[in-house]
Amino acid sequence: MIVKDIINLLYTSLKGGILFSLSHWFIYMAHHLSRLQMKVLYTLTGNIYMIYLEVVTTTRCTLKCRHCIGDIPEIKKDAQYSISFEEYKNYMDNLLKNIKSLKLVRILGGEPLLNKDIDKIIEYALKQSKIKQVYLVTNATVMLSNEVVNVLKKYPQKATVDISNYSANKELASKLKIKEIIEICKQNNISVNCPESYLWNPISPIKYHRRNTKENKRYYRSCASLCVGMHKTPDGGAAVFPCLRAGTLFLRKIGNQTEGKDYFRLDNKLQKEDIMKVHLNEDFDACRYCNFLEDKRKQVLPAIQK
């Protein structure tokens, strides 16, 4: 089974170009090794050493990208949200009491700097000993506030500002504040990550694919997404999905994702078994609406606006 997955991965990745193939190969291996690590450590110790979590703190954004990887612009107005600090703390408390550690939390949106409580949200994550690294992800259209800077500079070994660099798209030049953000981070000894601007993979319109269970598992394994995303849910709670697009599908009421298989809720009833069951699942309903392996064969400018 693993050999077939590797052959399938190499074949589909090479269609997207050699550089994409190499990077996707690395992600594929990291994804499966992290899943194996979680399973082994849980079996041996009964503890969950969670690798990764992306937290959507708001669906508001300064941009409306045609090929947004999280499909954020497709969320209808009545389903959009911004998480308050109190809500966020409650969700994270429910998660952290069930795990031993969480290697990396990426705080994002939308544009997270539009959340009025973002400084408190960041500081809470940074204060938790179980959380090892915290990245604040921004599209660099909004300057860091004094409150956010003051929080970040208190944790120089743990906090990083992660800039999504869209400078290859010249139409956004007047909106981007990349240099200013990098400068203020340097002045305050804040770690900042700003990779070279890269092309995006286009996102096809949502379409249902009639993949059987075997085909759907193979599709998920080939995707090898490291993303594990938290979205707020329409009932006022929050849940963790296999990726942010899966959470967006849930908000858009597309598909038939079921609790305990496709996602777990961050409520007071959360148990370790719920977390592991979803993390080790490979047959996600959301994957039947995904075109990632087909879309990756083409590339477009980043952040083309609708």
- 241: domain CATH number is 3.20.20.70
| Domain annotation covers residue 211 | yes
- Please report whether residue 303 resides in a domain: no
176 in Cβ contact with 248 (< 8 Å): no
Judge if pTM exceeds 0.95.
Answer: no
SS3 at position 176: coil
pLDDT band at 15 (very low <50, low <70, confident <90, very high): very low
Residue appearing with tokens 């009964």? 46
Are 122 and 152 a contacting pair, CB within 8 Å?
Answer: yes
Any domain includes 65: yes
Residue 80: which domain range?
Answer: 2-295
Backbone angles phi, psi at 157, to 5 degrees: -90, -10
Q: What is the pLDDT of residues 113-163, one digit of tens each?
A: 999 999 999 999 999 999 999 999 999 999 999 999 999 999 999 999 999
Let me know if residue 248 belongs to a domain. yes
Question: Domain for residue 301, yes or no?
Answer: no
Banded pLDDT at 43 (limits 50, 70, 90) = very high
Total tally of structural domains belonging to the chain: 1
Name residue 240's beta-bridge partners: 230, 264
In a domain, 110, yes or no: yes
Is 43 within the bounds of a domain?
yes
Is 3's pLDDT higher than 80?
Answer: no
Residue 300 located in a structural domain = no
pLDDT at 293: 78
Matching residue, tokens 């082994």: 40
Residue 53 has pLDDT above 90, yes or no: yes
